[in-house]
Every structure is written in C-alpha cells, then in structure tokens.
Amino acid sequence: MPHHSNVLTVISHLIVLSVVSILCVLGTWQVSRYLDKQERIEQINQRSEQGIIAHQRLSQLALDDVRDVQIRIEPTASSTSLLWLDNQQHNGQVGFKLIVPVNTKQGWLLVNLGWVVGRVDRLALPMIPPLHELQAPLSGAISIPGLNSFITETASADGVFPKVIQQIEFTRISELLDLPLLPYMLTVTQPSEYFVREWRPVVMEPAKHIGYALQWYGLAIAASVIYLVARRRKAQNLKENPE
C-alpha cells in the first residue's frame, strides 16, 4: 500500500505541475501579445506622423515591414474582376468588403474600397455604383491581412467574376485573377458616400491582454494553493489517524 500511495502522489504532482505550467504559458503568451501590440501602436503613430507619401517612394524607405505606411496611388488601370470578401461585420451587421485589383506603375495592387452591408438574400451580392474613384488618386494605409488556417477558400479559378472570397491570400488571389500582385493591400481611408471605411489595424486594446494574463496567472496560483492545502490536510489526517 505505501508503494501504491507513493505512485499516486507522484502522478498527482505531475498532473498539477502540468496544469500550472500550461496556465503560466498562456499568461506569458498574453504578455507577449501585449508587448507586440504596444510596439505595433508605436509604429502606427510614427507612420501617421510621417503623413501620406507617394506610392513610388515606398521602395526608397527600405522598410522590413511596410504595414501602416500611408500612401497615395495613381491608378493606371483597374480590373473588372471584383472580389467580395465574405463575412465582414460592422456594428453587428454582416456584409462584405469590396476588393479591387488596381494597376499602378509599381505593379498590380489589391485595393480595399470598404465595407458594404449584405443583402437579405445571402446569395445576391450588394449593389454598388460605378467605381469612378478608381480613375483618380486614392489614399490609404498599407495592410497585410493575416491568414486563418481554419478557413478554406471556396473560390475557384474559373475566370468568372465577381467572385466571393473567404480571406486575403495573395498567392491564391493572384491565381484567381491571373495577375502578379504586390504582397500588400491598400486599405482606402478617404471618405466615401457608398462604402464604410474604418482602418482598425489593432482591434483589441493592449491592456486587455494584460487582463487575460492576470487571469491565467491567477488560475495557476489558485491551482497551486488548492493542491498544497489539500496535500497538507491529507498529511494531517494521516498523522492523526495512522493506519
């Protein structure tokens, strides 16, 4: 029996240690997210202070990360191959973001014209006016959307447009359009009568990550305390009632 008891003790130690370790890792990950977002916000502020630059000047900056740089483009042509980014929300409503390939002197560039509410019939795409603004200079911020590995692209390269897409995957969209694309997108920020334009590169405030980190660390401490108290009580009971 003592041997059996020792085995159970070791197993319980390992289980609690594993749980506490996982909770601490989750807390540390949230702290890392906080630091990353703080750094990103500083970058956004710095690049906002630089103001809008001409697209052709972007290569002269020699930046490792072009996100958040505000640029102005002068389209030389635009494609009629419209892309509707699905499942985009604004104020609780589900809609689309209209993505248009635009040709510039620097190459073909995806341009996010903004959000449009979806129609009651989800199979019907929103009605939009002629896109005359694509014939004039456009300004906005450079974005590089992240990929979600849980999302499967449903669009096929059949040459039929407009086309509904699930996420911005530059390689896949280049195949759909049969066009070489620049590895970033312009999110237009200038006012529009037809599109909702909100550039929110940081959705969750950094402080929330600290709150989540404290919760994970708190759970780790609580689990440790509960286990230690339980072990102490068990030891006390064995001392008072030896077999």
- Tell me: the pLDDT tens digits for 186-208? 999 988 888 999 888 877 888 89
Domain count, the chain: 2
* Residue 22 is assigned to a structural domain of this protein: yes
**Which pair of structure tokens corresponds to residue 108?**
């073909």
77, part of any domain: yes
Domain that holds residue 94: 69-188
Q: Please spell the DSSP secondary structure of 119-155, one letter per residue.
A: PSSTTSPPP----GGGGS-EEEEEE-PPP-TT-----
Residues 82 and 141 both lie in one domain: yes
Average pLDDT over residues 131-149: 87
Contacts of 115 (CB under 8 A, 6+ apart): 88, 90, 95, 96, 97, 195, 196, 197, 198
Angle at alpha carbon of residue 151, lines to 202 and 33, rounded to 5°? 30
**How far is residue 168 CA from its own chain's centroid?**
11
Does one domain contain both 172 and 222?
A: no
Is the per-residue pLDDT at 95 higher than 60?
A: yes
Kindly state whether residue 110 falls inside one of the protein's structural domains. Answer: yes
Q: Do the domain assignments include residue 156?
A: yes
Q: What are the pLDDT digits (tens) for 19-78?
A: 999 999 999 999 999 999 998 888 888 888 888 999 988 888 767 788 889 999 988 878
Other beta carbons less than 10 A from residue 138's beta carbon: 22
Report pTM.
Answer: 0.79
Inside any domain, residue 47:
no
**Cα separations in angstroms, 135 against 10, 74, 102, 140, 201:** 72, 8, 10, 15, 27
